[in-house]
Amino acid sequence: MARKEEAISMIDTLAEFKELKNIDKETMISVLEESFRNVIAKMFGTDENYDVIINPEKGDFEIWRNRIAVADDELENPNLEISISEARKIDTDSSIGEEVTDEVHFADFGRRAILNLRQTLASKILELQKDNLYAKYKEKIGQIISADVYQVWKKEILLLDDEGNELLLPKQEQIPTDFYRKGETVRAVVQKVDNINNNPKIILSRTDKVFLQRLFELEVPEIHDGLITIKAIARIPGERAKVAVESYDDRIDPVGACVGMKGSRIHGIVRELRNENIDVINYTANVALFIQRSLSPAKISSIRVNEEERKAEVYLRPEEVSLAIGKGGLNIKLACMLTEYAIDVFRDIEGPDEEDIYLDEFVDEIDTWVIDALKNIGCNTAKNVLALTREEIIERADLEEQTVDDVLAILSAEFEEEVEDEVKE
């Protein structure tokens, strides 16, 4: 009797577990029945002649065994057969060859069977829980969720959602200036869900472009309602981002709607992204104009576009070049990412003056990679370089101080020699 009560108590426990893990009644009944059948099959070699009935409302179960009645001296398999004398104790009208059904008390199978059932149930419930978790978060890919920091490791952060499920935020998916302590709430987008060996692994991201897009959808009702569309996003997490937007309603200014009155809408996004600067620009199908807008705040003098090779040559006044390139080259890098064009920046001059010299002519004295670095900041000639300060060249071209000093010395010497030759003449 104690064993039966123990087994029934186990079902009560599982009923509570079901509520906690959001497992529906039909699934739980199926899992319980399958678990009972697995134990029976292990004990008797088959479960085909058993009927398992689960009563979730009452919190109990019934097991009925079906056997064929045989003559008392012909009984060979007590699990599949029953002697006629035993059969008539169950049903007085039984006759040889007929099926006889009797109730089996699972507790009578012994403590080992009960423990086996517990283990089987626990295994199946865990497997079911993992399947549900995988399915749940598979549907959430690309959505923003909130979770609490549980543990901070060097390479990743372990988070727990409202139901206690474990989520991971890898270091490379964190904004460089992110810093969290245990118990703090983190907002991130579900980037991917792996399920290797039925072990769900949910990866979150705060650096993904989709995270920025979802933040705009939350902050800008016109985007959420479909009146404004985000056409492209380029982002260097924690530093700067460019977002191209388009409105299908001429009455709506897409840039103004995204920024909000005095920046009210975009400020919330900037704060969430650790003060990441965000440029919002009007999208256009006109490639040349789109590239021009992507290089904002620089003003372009002229542009040549090669759509086949997806390249563009942009010409600007000397004072606009640094704006187009941006600090550390961020502006032009983002413009290239946003437009998906390779953009080369040039100073808007008719050509080098007669006394100027192209940098390529110094290839014997200056390494090619150094010349390329200078060209990348719009300096194609010696005088273009000499027009900049030493500090400006170091910062914008990302060159070592000694390298810049050597370049300036070589270029300066060239013009000094020309002056000396003119004096001698």
- Residue 205 is predicted with a pLDDT of 98
Average pLDDT of the chain, as a whole number: 86
Domain boundary (256, 283, 310) is at: 283
Least confident among 107-121, 213-227, 262-276: 107-121
> Cis peptide leading into 176, omega within 30 of 0?
no
- Residue 22 is predicted with a pLDDT of 59
257-287 residue pLDDT tens: 999 998 999 999 999 999 999 999 999 999 9
Residue 21's pLDDT band (cuts 50, 70, 90): low
Domain for residue 142, yes or no? Answer: no
- Residue 111 is predicted with a pLDDT of 81
Same domain, yes or no, for 79 and 154?
no
37-41, 160-164, 316-320 — most confident range: 160-164
* 390-404 average pLDDT score: 88
Which has the higher per-residue pLDDT, 49 or 31? 49
Domain for residue 198, yes or no? Answer: yes
Same domain, yes or no, for 174 and 270?
no
- Residue 423 is predicted with a pLDDT of 38
Same domain, yes or no, for 237 and 256?
yes
- Residue 19 is predicted with a pLDDT of 52
Amino acid in position 66: N
Domain boundary (190, 205, 220) is at: 205
67-104 residue pLDDT tens: 999 998 888 888 899 999 988 998 888 899 999 998 88
- Residues in a beta bridge with 312: 305, 343
365-375 residue pLDDT tens: 899 899 888 87
Which has the higher per-residue pLDDT, 301 or 196? 196
The strand pair at 60-70 and 166-170 is best described as unpaired
Residues 133, 183 contacting (CB under 8 angstroms): no
Domain boundary (283, 309, 324) is at: 283
Domain for residue 50, yes or no? Answer: yes
As for how many domains the chain has, the answer is 4
Domain containing 122 — which CATH number? Answer: 3.30.1480
The proportion of the chain whose per-residue pLDDT surpasses 70, expressed as a percent, equals 90
Residue 23's pLDDT band (cuts 50, 70, 90): low
Among residues 297, 295, 289, 345, the alpha carbon closest in space to that of 318 is found at 345
**HSE-CB for 270 with a 13 A CA cutoff:** 16
Q: What string of DSSP letters covers 41-99?
A: HHHHS--TTEEEEEETTTTEEEEEEEEEEE-GGG---TTTEEEHHHHHHH-TT--TTSE
Domain for residue 368, yes or no? Answer: yes
Same domain, yes or no, for 45 and 128?
yes
Same domain, yes or no, for 191 and 275?
no
Boundaries of domain holding 183: 147-205
Q: Is the pLDDT of residue 37 over 70?
A: yes
Residue 236 is given by DSSP the state: E
Q: What are the respective helix, strand and coil percentages of the chain, to the nearest 5? A: 45, 25, 30
Same domain, yes or no, for 199 and 250?
no
Same domain, yes or no, for 276 and 179?
no
